[in-house]
Structure 1
Amino acid sequence: MSKDSIINNLFRVASNMFTQFNTEEPLISEKTKVILKTTEGRKELYKKIISNPIPF
């Protein structure tokens, strides 16, 4: 699976989860949406996720 596919799938799952909550503020900011729409933004996010794993 490519990096873009992983990020796109994570974003889709997160978006689907967040739509189930009713909040006054959006759970994904407009700035984050803009970052995820660009290839460079997705690459940067992927690098941050891979370089900073959180143990379960």
Structure 2
Amino acid sequence: MFALYSGSLAEPGDPNPYAGGESLVLPKLWFAGYRRMLRVRIETGPAMQRYRAASRLN
């Protein structure tokens, strides 16, 4: 669970700290959290807000 959480708190471009380790699950969990962070940033960012505002006008 900590790997998932730390992935969601990562910044874009951060390397996976669990990559290359003995575990196969921890890098996948971290990456799932990282993808969640990217999705949230894209969906709630200023560019998406402008896009949605413009699409409501049409």
With normalisation by structure 2, the TM-score equals: 0.35
Greater C-alpha radius of gyration: 2
With normalisation by structure 1, the TM-score equals: 0.36
Taking CA–CA contacts closer than 8 Å with sequence separation of 6 or more, which of the two structures ends up with the larger relative contact order?
A: 1
